[in-house]
Amino acid sequence: MKAVLEPLGKKGFLFRRLEPFDLKRVGSRKRIGVYCGVDEAGRHTLVFHIRRKSRLLSAEAKELIALKAAIMRACDYEKCQCLAVVEAPLCSKAAGLLEADGWKIVTV
C-alpha cells in the first residue's frame, strides 16, 4: 500500500481511510490493486494501482471503466472519485478515455 500512498501524497491526495477491495466480489480476475476509501473532503474514492511492463492500451482502459461501474454497484456508491496510479507506459488514447470518464491519472 505504500507504493500507492506515496505518489498520491506527492500529488496532494490525502485519505482518512483506505482499504483494499477484493475483486472476487465483482467476479473479476484482474491482477491490479483496488482500494476503496474516503478522502479529506469526505468523498468516496476508488484507487486503482496498475503495475505492468507492457503498455496500458485503450482496450484495458475500457475494461477498467466497466470494472469501476461494477465496484460502484457492489459498494453502493452513487458518485465517487476515481484515481489510477499507473506504473506502466500509458497509451494516449487510453489516458484520454479515462480522463473523459472523470478519472485522475498519477503516473509513477
Does residue 56 have a pLDDT over 90? yes
Mean pLDDT over 42-51 rounds to 94
Position of cell 478522502? 39
Whole-number average pLDDT of the chain: 93
Radius of gyration for the alpha carbons in the chain, expressed in angstroms and rounded: 13
Fold for the domain defined by 2-107? Trna Endonuclease; Chain: A, domain 1 (3.40.1350)
Asked whether 61 and 98 are in contact (CB, 8 A), the reply is yes
Global pTM value: 0.92
Q: What is the pLDDT of residue 79?
A: 92
The pLDDT tens digits of the residues spanning 75-98 come to 999 999 999 999 999 999 999 999
